[in-house]
Amino acid sequence: MAKLWDGRFESESSKLLEDFNASIGFDWQLWHEDIQGSKAHAKMLAKIGILDDKELDSILAGLEQIAKMIESGEFEFKNSDEDIHMAIESKLTQLIGESGKKLHTARSRNDQVALDFRLFCLRANKSITRAILALMQTLLHIAREHTHTIMPGMTHLQHAQPVNLGFHIVAWCCSLQRDVQRFQDSFMRNNLSPLGSGALAGTPYGNDREFVASELGFSAPTLNAMDSVSDRDFALDLLYDIAMLMMHISRISEELVLWSSAEFGFITLSDSYSTGSSIMPQKKNPDVPELLRGKSGRSFGNLIALLSVMKSLPLAYNKDTQEDKEGVFDSVHTAQISLEILRECLATATFNAKNMRKMAQKGHLSATDLADFLVRECGVPFRDSHHITGKVVAYAEKKGVDISALTQEELQSVDPRIKEGANAVLDIESSMQARNSLGGTASARTLEQIENLQTFVVRVSASME
Residue 6 pLDDT: 62
Q: Please indicate, yes or no, if residue 461 is contained in any of the structural domains.
A: no
Task: Give tens-digit pLDDT for 380-405.
Answer: 999 999 999 999 999 999 999 999 99
Model pLDDT for residues 19-50, shown as the tens digit of each residue: 787 899 999 999 999 999 999 999 999 999 99
Can you give the pLDDT at residue 1? Answer: 46
Q: Which domain holds residue 167?
A: 110-356
Compute the distance between CA of residue 230 and CA of residue 75 in angstroms, rounded to an integer.
30
Question: C-alpha 256: how far from its chain's center?
Answer: 18
Looking at residue 79, what is its pLDDT?
A: 87
Residue 364 falls in the annotated catalytic set: no
Residue 275: predicted pLDDT: 85
Angle between helices 109-145 and 233-259 (to 10 degrees): 30
| 307-333 as b/e: b if 16+ CB within 10 A | eebbeeeeebbeeebbebbbbbbbbbe
Active-site annotation holder among 277, 308, 333, 413: 277
Q: Return the pLDDT at 11.
A: 67
- Within a domain: 55: yes
Structure confidence at residue 278 (pLDDT): 83
Question: What does the DSSP assignment read for 402-463?
Answer: -GGG--HHHHHHH-TT--TTHHHHTSHHHHHHH--STT-SSHHHHHHHHHHHHHHHHHHHHH
DSSP single-letter state for residue 53: H
Q: What Cα–Cα distance (Å) separates residue 227 from each residue in 205, 208, 326, 353?
A: 20, 19, 22, 56
Residue 275 lies in a domain: yes
Say how many C-beta atoms besides its own lie within 10 A of residue 181's C-beta: 14
Same domain, 215 and 330: yes
Which of 156, 272, 278, 463 is labelled catalytic? Answer: 156
Residues 100, 164 within the same domain: no
Query: What is the pLDDT, as a whole number, of residue 19?
Result: 74
**Do both 291 and 396 map to the same domain?**
no
97 and 115 part of one domain = no
- Are both 149 and 27 inside the same structural domain? no
Residues 304 and 174 in one domain: yes
Residues of the chain with pLDDT under 70: 1-11, 13
CATH code for the domain in which residue 95 is found: 1.10.275.10
- Among the listed residues 225, 199, 349, 221, the one whose alpha carbon sits nearest the alpha carbon of residue 288: 349
Q: Does residue 442 form part of some domain? A: no
Regarding whether 173 and 246 lie in a shared domain, the answer is yes
In a domain, 24, yes or no: yes
Task: State whether 380 and 270 are in the same domain.
Answer: no
The per-residue pLDDT for 283 is: 85
Query: What is the predicted pLDDT for the residue at 110?
Result: 97
Same domain, 127 and 153: yes
Q: For residues 273 and 342, state if they share a domain.
A: yes
Question: Residue 302 belongs to a domain with what CATH number?
Answer: 1.20.200.10
Same domain for 269 and 322? yes
Question: 156 catalytic, yes or no?
Answer: yes
- Tell me which of 105, 137, 163 is where a domain ends: 105
Q: Last residue of a domain, which of 83, 105, 127?
A: 105
Residue 225 shares a structural domain with residue 285: yes
Residue type, 291: L
